């Protein structure tokens, strides 16, 4: 819990106990002074730290305590009931704050400060695109190495964030809006990041911040909410139709990556741009989580500027499912459990259809990595959401959707491999690229497999 939240809970409990005692004895000398202190604690907590939903029961308790003096004339029973209700509400807030703590993005470890800005991109949709996909025009933010702000700039930014964001309890990002791009003596390799289904939020802010602080310009892509499921299990025909729509959506969004690259190249060339001669779109990489991992893999097939791709625990769709990725490719995943015959024949359509998709994806992944080369990192004990920041939001797996591994440890392993991979394959190459089976970071919790790249024909 945050400091003022704890003070508010303690103050509310203390006033409630005092009021219960007053209900059994004569005299109300201190009631109004204690109510005033409680009101000060409530207002200070909301203004200085910001409200959050976990504290709503505590706010209700404060209101109840403030109205309790009106019950004093009704006797000890009424005040005792009010005290019991107050402690129940306070307990609800305490448990909520412990189970779902207020988690802010972690401060990155690279040498650069991080800036962030919106990136308008002109997307042209094909006339034959499905109506579902026509809505999916991307919203792009560019995270980039920035000049470290001075003291006055940091103060003004902190004040503006407190007024604009903290009142609503939005975690402050360790990134400065529209900050001047850093002067590093070389251009920043571009990384395009796609998130998981339905692609309407950025769930890997810690990884993005880490990459930007280490000299990458990261374009994070989200889409408006989509009004269809990833898989329709109502019938064989409906499921097959949803699969075809998913293939089409991956191809469509992979083309969006090319449009984003074009926009970044334009920014790099403009003389009036904050990013003049700063963005290396000729040596780009794609990174994606879940469905976004499929988009990252598919985009490598469309443009030679995309030199490498990272898929964070995502299935494969589109042409990349059949043909794989013929460029440096890092696939990081949970333990891939091959579906059983019982899964494939299950009476539960969700289990049955998902098993069919897994069987196809796993067999194609193995064949494609053997044919094209690449790296696979398997981390037993993780769950799907360990590949995002969501697993950090609670120490309880029921609320974090994480696996048995410590969530911070899992994120350290995943981010370390991504950073190392992009350092080798995600920028301008000076000399031959390192072999996939060269030395990699070692973690006791991770299993590393590599396949050599095919030998080019003379």
Please give the mean pLDDT across all residues of the chain: 86
Statement: residue 243 has pLDDT above 50? yes
Considering only 62-71, 155-164, 388-397, which range has the smallest mean pLDDT?
A: 155-164
pLDDT at 279 > cutoff 60: yes
Say yes or no to pLDDT of 23 above 70: no
How many Å apart are CA 7 and CA 187, to the nearest integer? 49
The per-residue pLDDT for 458 is: 46
pLDDT 10s digits, 92-109 = 988 888 777 666 678 899
Residue 414 CA to chain centroid, in angstroms? 13
The stretch 223-249 carries a mean pLDDT of 89
pLDDT at 420 (0 to 100): 97
User: Residue 26 — very low, low, confident or very high, per pLDDT cuts 50/70/90?
Assistant: very low
Tally the residues of the chain: 458
Nearest Cα to 356, choosing from 264, 441, 231, 455? 231
Rank 70-79, 259-268, 396-405 by mean pLDDT and report only the highest: 259-268
The pLDDT score that the predictor gives to residue 158 is 54
Query: In the CATH scheme, what is the homologous superfamily, with its name and number, of domain 113-451?
Result: Alpha/Beta hydrolase fold, catalytic domain (3.40.50.1820)
Specify which residues 143 forms β-bridges with. Answer: 116, 218
> Where residue 22 falls among pLDDT bands split at 50, 70, 90?
low
**Per-residue model confidence (pLDDT) at position 124:** 77
Are 409 and 291 contacting, i.e. CB atoms less than 8 angstroms apart? Answer: no
> Do 228 and 245 contact (CB within 8 A), yes or no?
yes
CB atoms within 10 A of CB 379: 23
Q: Look at residue 155 in the predicted model and tell me its pLDDT.
A: 53
- Sheet with 176-177: list strands edge to edge: 176-177, 113-118, 139-146, 217-222, 188-194, 279-289, 306-312, 329-333, 374-378, 447-451
CA 328 to chain centre: 24
**C-alpha to C-alpha distance for 49 and 354, rounded to whole angstroms:** 44
Q: Which of 302, 298, 365 is nearest to 331 (CA)?
A: 365
Give me the sign of the Cα torsion angle 266, 174, 225, 356: positive
CA 78/CA 454 separation, integer angstroms:
80
Query: Sign (positive/negative) of CA torsion 227, 231, 236, 241?
Result: positive
pLDDT tens digit sequence for 6-19: 888 988 888 887 77
**Which of residues 397 and 202 earns the better pLDDT score?**
202
The number of beta carbons lying within 10 Å of the beta carbon of residue 17 is 13
* Nearest alpha-carbon partner for 42 in 92, 88, 79, 7: 7
Which range is least confidently modeled, 137-141, 171-175, 372-376, 450-454?
A: 171-175
* Distance between CA atoms of residues 226 and 301, nearest Å: 25
Q: What is the mean pLDDT of residues 268-278?
A: 93
Q: What is the mean pLDDT of residues 331-360?
A: 94
Statement: residue 32 has pLDDT above 80: no
User: Distances in Å between the alpha carbon of 333 and those of 45, 86, 89, 302, 449?
Assistant: 41, 46, 41, 24, 12
pLDDT score of 363 more than 90: yes
Please tell me whether the overall predicted TM-score, pTM, comes out greater than 0.85 for this model.
Answer: no
CA angle, corner 247, sides to 242 and 249, nearest 5?
90
Predicted local distance difference test score (pLDDT) of residue 63: 83
Mean pLDDT, residues 306-312 taken together: 97
Give residue limits of the domains in the chain: 3-99, 113-451
* Mean pLDDT (whole number) for 324-328: 95
pLDDT interval class at 343 (50, 70, 90): very high
- Sequence-distant (6+) residues with CB within 8 A of 346 are 352, 355
Q: How far is CA 107 from the centre of its chain?
A: 15
Taking residues 28-35, report their average pLDDT: 66
pLDDT-based confidence at residue 168 (cuts at 50, 70, 90): very low
pLDDT above 90 for 205: yes
Structure-model confidence comparison of residues 209 and 150, the more confident one: 209
Query: What pLDDT score does 159 carry?
Result: 55
pLDDT tens digit string along 387-439? 999 998 877 777 788 999 999 999 999 999 999 999 999 988 777 889 999 99
Is residue 71 very low, low, confident or very high in pLDDT (cuts 50, 70, 90)? low
Measured distance CA(7)–CA(1) in Å, rounded: 10
Q: Which residues contact 158 (CB under 8 A, 6 or more apart)?
A: none
Q: What is the 3-state secondary structure (H, E, C) of the chain?
A: CCHHHHHHHHHHHHHHHHHHHHCCCCCCCCHHHHHHHHHHHHHHHHHHCCCCHHHHHHHHHHHHHHHHHHHHHHCHHHHHHHHHHHHHHHHHHHHHHHHCCCCCCCCCCCCCEEEEEECCCCCCCCCCCCHHHHCCCCEEEEEEEECCCCHHHHHHHHHHHHHHCHHHCCCCCCCEECCCECCCCCCEEEEEEECCCCCCCCCCHHHHHHHHHCCCEEEEEECCCCCCCCCCCCCHHHHHHHHHHHHHHHHHHHHHHHHHHHHHHHHHHCCCCCCCCCEEEEEEEEEEECHHHHHHHHHCCCCCCEEEEEEECCCCCCHHHHHCCCCCEEEEECCCCCCCHHHHCCCCHHHHHHHHHHHHHHHHHHHHHHHHCEEEEECCCCCHHHHCHHHHCCCCHHHHCCCCCCHHHHHHHHHHHHHHHHHHHCCCCCCCCCCCCCCCCCCCCCEEEEECCCCCCC
Query: What is the structure's pLDDT at 150?
Result: 64
pLDDT at site 190 = 97
**What local confidence, expressed as pLDDT, does residue 221 receive?**
96
pLDDT band, residue 25 (cuts 50/70/90):
very low
Residue 66's pLDDT is what?
75
Range name among 13-17, 57-61, 216-220 with the lowest pLDDT average: 13-17
Instruction: Provide the pLDDT for residue 162.
Output: 53
Question: For residue 164, what pLDDT is reported?
Answer: 45
Highest mean pLDDT among 18-27, 34-43, 162-171: 34-43
Q: Please tell me which residue, 164 or 295, carries the higher pLDDT value.
A: 295
CA–centroid distance for 284 within its chain? 21
């Amino acid at each position: 819990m945050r400091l003022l939240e704890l003070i508010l809970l303690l103050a509310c409990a203390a006033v409630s106990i005092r009021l219960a005692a007053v209900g059994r004895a004569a005299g109300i000398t201190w009631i109004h002074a204690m109510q005033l202190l409680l009101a000060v604690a409530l207002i200070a907590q909301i203004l200085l730290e910001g409200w959050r939903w976990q504290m709503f029961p505590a706010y209700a308790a404060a209101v109840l305590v403030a109205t309790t003096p009106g019950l004093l004339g009704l006797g000890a029973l009424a005040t005792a009931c009010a005290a019991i209700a107050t402690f129940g509400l306070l307990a609800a807030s305490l448990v909520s704050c412990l189970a779902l703590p207020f988690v802010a993005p972690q401060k990155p470890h690279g040498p650069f400060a991080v800036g962030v800005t919106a990136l308008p991109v002109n997307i042209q949709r094909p006339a034959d695109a499905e109506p579902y996909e026509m809505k999916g025009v991307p919203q792009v933010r560019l995270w980039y190495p920035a000049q470290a702000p001075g003291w006055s700039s940091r103060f003004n930014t902190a004040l503006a964030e407190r007024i604009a964001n903290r009142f609503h309890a939005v975690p402050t990002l360790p990134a400065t809006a529209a900050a001047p791009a850093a002067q590093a003596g070389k251009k920043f390799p571009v990384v395009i990041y796609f998130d998981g289904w339905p692609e309407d939020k950025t769930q890997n802010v810690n990884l993005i911040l880490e990459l930007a602080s280490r000299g990458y310009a990261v374009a994070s892509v989200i889409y408006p909410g989509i009004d269809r499921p990833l898989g329709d299990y109502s019938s064989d025909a409906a499921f097959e139709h949803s699969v075809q729509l998913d293939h089409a959506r991956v191809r469509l969004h992979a083309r969006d990556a090319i449009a984003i690259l074009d926009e970044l190249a334009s920014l790099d060339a403009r003389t009036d741009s904050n990013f003049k001669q700063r963005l290396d779109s000729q040596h780009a990489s794609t990174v994606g989580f879940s469905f976004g991992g499929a988009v990252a893999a598919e985009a490598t097939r469309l443009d030679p500027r995309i030199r490498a791709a990272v898929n964070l625990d995502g299935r494969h769709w589109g042409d990349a499912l059949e043909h794989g990725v013929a460029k440096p490719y890092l696939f990081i995943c949970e333990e891939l459990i091959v579906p059983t015959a019982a899964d494939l024949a299950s009476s539960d359509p969700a289990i049955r259809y998902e098993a069919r998709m897994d069987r196809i994806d796993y067999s194609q992944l193995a064949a494609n990595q053997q044919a094209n080369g690449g790296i696979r990192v398997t981390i037993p004990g993780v769950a799907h959401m360990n590949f995002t920041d969501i697993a950090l939001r609670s120490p309880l797996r029921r609320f974090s959707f994480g696996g048995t591994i410590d969530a911070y440890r899992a994120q350290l392993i995943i981010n370390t491999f991504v950073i190392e991979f992009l350092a080798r394959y995600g920028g301008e190459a000076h000399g031959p690229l390192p072999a996939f089976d060269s030395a990699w970071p070692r973690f006791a919790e991770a299993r590393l497999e590599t396949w050599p790249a095919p030998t080019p024909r003379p």
